[in-house]
A and B are shown apart, each in its own frame.
Chain A
Amino acid sequence: MDTLAKLEILADAAKYDAACTSSGVERGPKKGAIGVASNAGCCHSFTADGRCVTLLKVLLSNACTHDCAYCVNRVSNHVPRATFESAELAELTIDFYKRNYIEGLFLSSGVLGSPDATSERMIACLELLRGPYRFSGYVHAKVIPGTDPALVERLGRLADRLSVNVELPSAASLERLCPEKHAEDVIAPMAQIQASMHSGRLLGAGSISHGTSPGAGNAYSTVKPEARAAALPSSGLARRSGATRGGPRGEAFCPAGQSTQLIIGATPENDYDILTLSTDLYQRFGLKRVFFSAYMPIADDPRLPHPETPVPLRREHRLYQADWLMRFYGFEAAELVAHDAPFLDLDVDPKLAWALTVPERFPVEVNSASKEALLRVPGFGPASVRKICRARRAHRLTFDDLDRLKISVKRAGFFITCSGERSPRFVASPEEIREKVVSDAASSAYNRAQRKNPRQLTLF
C-alpha cells in the first residue's frame, strides 16, 4: 500500500478526534533543527465543515483490537486497515511543515495488540522525528488508556501536548459501550501527566510554557490561576500570565499541557453532567482544554442513537460557549446549568441565558463598572472590554463613542447604560429581551436551515 492510500485511510480514521490545536508553548528556532512552536498556535486550513487544520492529524494505525461501539475503528467494523512506518510519517510531517501546510504532528493510534505495544511504536516514531529528522515543531500525542507509566513519561518528553480521551461522560456509559476500557485506565495517566508536569515546573526543566493554570488555554487567559483555585468568579482582563523558562536539564514534560475529549449525544448524560465533569477535570488534572465532539451516528447499534439522528451541532456549540465562559470569563458551571434545568438553552447563548436569570445585576454603567462586571455583559468580550476601559480613561463614554470604537451594542444594549442613559434598544423585562433576541436569531442562516430540515434529535 503506498503512502497516499495509507494517508487517506489513517486521516479518515483520525478525523473524529476534535482536538486540533497547536497552542500553549513557545519555542524558538534551534540551530540545525526545523520548526518552532508559538504560544498562540496557527490554523493553516479549514475543512469543508469549518474545523481548523493545524496539525497532521493521523493515526499511526487503525488496526484496533478494541471494540468500542461508537468508534469507526472498532475491530468488528469492516473498514480498510493501514499502518504507517515511522520514517514515512516523519518525512510526511517535515514535507508538510516546510510548505507551511501544518504546525506539526498529531499522533494517535488504534490499539495494536496492547496499549504498551502501541505506545512503543508511537514513541519510536516520535524519537525518529525529534532525533534524526531534527523536528522542533509542535507534537500532540494521544495516550492510550492502560499504557505503562514509564511509557507515558517517555511520550511526554517527546510531545508538547498529551491527551487522554475520556470519550464518554460517565463510567456507566464507558462500561456499556467500551467493554475493554475502564474509567481508572483513563484517570491514572491524567493524574500522572499532571504530577510530571508539576514536578518538571518545580525543577525548572523545559522550554517556555504559557498559561499553565488549569483551564487557561493560553497566555491571554482572563482567569487567574489563583482565582480559579479559590473557585471565585472574579477575573481580570487579558494579561500575560507568568511564563516559566526551563533550565538546561532536559526537555520539558508535556510543556503545552494536557487535554481530553468528551463525545456529546451518544449517551444520555445531560449538559449539567458534562459541564460538572469538565470543571472537575480542569481542577483535578489542570487540563488545558476539554473538547466536545458531537456524536456522528456511524453504526446501527441498539446501544446508540438511531443512525438517522442529526449531529447535535447546536448543543456542541453551546457547550463550547459555556466552556469558554468558565475558562475565560470566570463563570462557574453551576451558574450556567443546574440540577433542575440540566440542559443549556439552545435558543440563546449561555451568557445571555445567565443574564436573563439575574436581572438585578443589570444594567451596568460602562463608565464605572469593573472589568469583571463588563465581561459578564452579554455581547461584550475581552476585546470590547479592553477598548472601553482604555477609552473611558480619556472621557466619559456615550453610545456614539461605543459606535466609533466599533463595539456592537445590539446585544449588550439591553444590559448597559452609558453616562446614565439607556440604549434605544432597551426593553424592560427579561421575557421581552429573550423574545427580541430569539426573533433576531430566527432569521439567521442556521435557523433557516433547521426549519427546512425539521428532524428532531432522537437520543433513545
Chain B
Amino acid sequence: MAVEPKAEGVLSATGLTYLAHCAHAPLRFVRRDVAQPALGEAFFEAPTLEALAHRVYRGFAARIREGCPRAECGRCAPGCSSSCVRRVYTIASSDDEDMPEALHAYLVLGFDHGRGVRSLAARDARIAKAEAFHTLAVNESEKARQFVRFSELSTGAFFSLYTPKANVLPLVAGHFARRMEGERFLLADPKHKVAVLFSEGRIIVGPLSPEEVAELSRPHELSDVERSVRALWKRFYDALALPGRGRHERGYDLRAQFMPKRIADGLIELDPTIDDGFAAQAWESAVAAGALAAGVGELAAAQIMKKTLPAFPEASFEAVDGAKG
C-alpha cells in the first residue's frame, strides 16, 4: 500500500484493508513519495479518507483503553495507555521511509494485543522501530520547545522558522499557544512545509506551498525593539559563562551535547555578530538596498491566514505533552 506519509494516511489505509478483508501479513505499507515495488510486488495507491482515519483512530483508542481504569478517568501514568494511543501521531511525525510500515504494525498489533502492544518491542522489529520513531519525536518536540526563537515583526506579530528532524511542529503548537495567550505568532518549518499560526486564540496548522516557504525564508522587517532585545539576550547569555568549568577543563564540550550544531546555528545567543552591531548594520544596509520588502513576513502570514487550511485533529496538539515522561 502506497500511503500518504502522515497519521491520517496510514490510519485510512489500515481501515481500507480491514474493510476489504485483506490479510495484514502480506501487506507492506510504504510512503507514497518514495515507493519502489520489489520484484513480484504491486502497489495500491491508498487515498487518505479523513473520516475513515478518525474512525480507525477512535476504534484503536477504545481497544487500547479497554480494561484500564486510569485511562477511563483520564488519569494516565507515564507509559500508560493514553500515551500508547497518542503515539499514533508521534510515530507518524517521523521522516523515515519505514514509518508507514511501523505505524501499520503498531495499529494492527494494537488491535490484536490491546495495551500490551508495546511489550512486543523486544521481539518485533517493527514495533521496536515505532518506539524509536516515537522517542525521536518526543526528543525533537522537546528541542522545539527549547530552541524555537521568536522575533517580533514590525506589525507586533511574532515569527519563527524552525527545522526539526521530524514533523513535530503540529505536536508542539498547543504548547506555544498556551505560552503566548493574547499574542499572534507564525511558526514555520521549511523542511516539512508546515506552518502553525496562532491568532485570536485559534491555532491553525497547515501545509505550506514551495512559494510560501521561499517567501517566509526571506528576511523580515523587525520591530523597533527587536534588535535591542536580541543584544540584551546575547549580553545576558555571555555574562553567564563560568571560568574553570569549560570544555578545556572537562575535556569535552557539554554545551555541544545539549545544543547540536544544527540547532546552535540558528540561536541568537551563539551568533557572534549580534553584540558588535554588525547584524544591525547588515540589516540596515539590506533595507537601503531594497532587499527587504516592508512587512514581508506579515504579508506571507496574512496570505496563509486567508487560506483555508486543513486543521489537524485536536489529539495531535497534545500528543507529546501527555506522552512525556
A98–B183 CB distance below 8 A:
yes
B123–A404 CB distance below 8 A:
yes
Q: Which residues of the other chain, A, contact B142 by a CB distance below 8 angstroms?
A: 42
Q: Contact check: which of B228, B236, B244, B254 meets A46 at CB < 8 Å?
A: B254
Name the residue of chain A whose CB is nearest to the CB of B175. A38
Q: A residues 356-410 with Cβ under 8 Å of B?
A: 386-387, 390-395, 397, 401-402, 404-406
Q: Which residues of the other chain, A, contact B247 by a CB distance below 8 angstroms?
A: 48-49
Known: A48-B241, A49-B245, A310-B249. A404 touches B236 (CB 8 A): no
B152–A404 CB distance below 8 A:
no
Q: Which residues of the other chain, A, contact B235 by a CB distance below 8 angstroms?
A: 4, 7-8, 11
Known: A404-B128, A446-B250, A449-B250. A46 touches B158 (CB 8 A): no
Q: Can you name 11 extra interface pairs (CB under 8 A) apart from A15-B241, A46-B255, A51-B245?
A: A4-B235, A33-B181, A45-B269, A46-B254, A50-B257, A98-B158, A98-B183, A99-B149, A99-B158, A238-B77, A449-B248
Segment among A23-31, A107-115, A174-182, A428-436 that sits at the interface with chain B: A23-31
Q: Which residues of the other chain, A, contact B75 by a CB distance below 8 angstroms?
A: 240
Task: Tell me whether A456 is interfacial, beta carbon within 8 Å.
Answer: no
Q: Which residues of the other chain, B, contact A99 by a CB distance below 8 angstroms?
A: 149-152, 158, 229, 233
Give CA–CA (A43, B104) in the complex, Å. 35
Task: Tell me whether A34 is interfacial, beta carbon within 8 Å.
Answer: yes
Interface string of B222-252 (1 = CB under 8 A from A): 0001001101110111111111111111111
A92–B232 CB distance below 8 A:
yes
Task: Tell me whether A154 is interfacial, beta carbon within 8 Å.
Answer: no
Give CA–CA (A4, B229) in the complex, Å. 9
Task: Tell me whether A57 is interfacial, beta carbon within 8 Å.
Answer: yes
B200: min CB distance to chain A, Å: 13
B233–A96 CB distance below 8 A:
yes
Q: Which residues of the other chain, B, contact A354 by a CB distance below 8 angstroms?
A: none
Q: Which residues of the other chain, A, contact B278 by a CB distance below 8 angstroms?
A: none
Known: A46-B258, A98-B152, A310-B244. A36 touches B231 (CB 8 A): no
Q: Which residues of the other chain, B, contact A240 by a CB distance below 8 angstroms?
A: 75, 77-78
Known: A46-B258, A48-B255, A386-B79. A296 touches B158 (CB 8 A): no
Q: Which residues of the other chain, B, contact A47 by a CB distance below 8 angstroms?
A: 237, 240-242, 255
Q: Which residues of the other chain, A, contact B121 by a CB distance below 8 angstroms?
A: 387, 390-391, 404-405
Task: Tell me whether B21 is interfacial, beta carbon within 8 Å.
Answer: no
Q: B residues 183-202 with Cβ under 8 Å of A?
A: 183
A53–B237 CB distance below 8 A:
yes
A2: min CB distance to chain B, Å: 10
Give CA–CA (A311, B259) in the complex, Å. 24
Q: B residues 111-149 with Cβ under 8 Å of A?
A: 116, 118-123, 125, 128, 132, 142, 145-149
Q: Contact check: which of B116, B149, B253, B269 meets A100 at CB < 8 Å?
A: B149
Q: Contact check: which of B178, B244, B245 meets A29 at CB < 8 Å?
A: B178
Q: Contact check: which of A406, A445, A453 meets B252 at CB < 8 Å?
A: A445
Name the residue of chain B whose CB is nearest to the CB of A312. B244
Known: A95-B225, A386-B79, A448-B251. A7 touches B146 (CB 8 A): no
B246–A48 CB distance below 8 A:
yes
Give CA–CA (A392, B245) in the complex, Å. 43
Q: Which residues of the other chain, B, contact A32 by a CB distance below 8 angstroms?
A: 182
Give CA–CA (A40, B122) in the complex, Å. 29
Give CA–CA (A31, B178) in the complex, Å. 10
A393–B116 CB distance below 8 A:
yes
B300: min CB distance to chain A, Å: 19
Q: Contact check: which of B149, B225, B242, B250 meets A296 at CB < 8 Å?
A: B242
Name the residue of chain A whose CB is nearest to the CB of B144. A100
Task: Tell me whether A35 is interfacial, beta carbon within 8 Å.
Answer: yes
Interface string of A421-460 (1 = CB under 8 A from B): 0000000000000000000000011111110010000000
A403: min CB distance to chain B, Å: 9
B119–A100 CB distance below 8 A:
no
A453–B249 CB distance below 8 A:
yes
Q: Which residues of the other chain, A, contact B258 by a CB distance below 8 angstroms?
A: 43, 46, 50, 52
A394–B116 CB distance below 8 A:
yes
B122–A395 CB distance below 8 A:
yes
Q: Which residues of the other chain, B, contact A3 by a CB distance below 8 angstroms?
A: 232
Name the residue of chain A whose CB is nearest to the CB of B162. A100
A49–B242 CB distance below 8 A:
yes
A35–B244 CB distance below 8 A:
no
Known: A11-B239, A96-B233, A220-B78. A49 touches B181 (CB 8 A): no
Task: Tell me whether A303 is interfacial, beta carbon within 8 Å.
Answer: no
Task: Tell me whether B325 is interfacial, beta carbon within 8 Å.
Answer: yes
Task: Tell me whether A101 is interfacial, beta carbon within 8 Å.
Answer: yes
B245–A313 CB distance below 8 A:
yes
B122–A49 CB distance below 8 A:
no
Q: Which residues of the other chain, A, contact B132 by a CB distance below 8 angstroms?
A: 406
Task: Tell me whether A148 is interfacial, beta carbon within 8 Å.
Answer: no
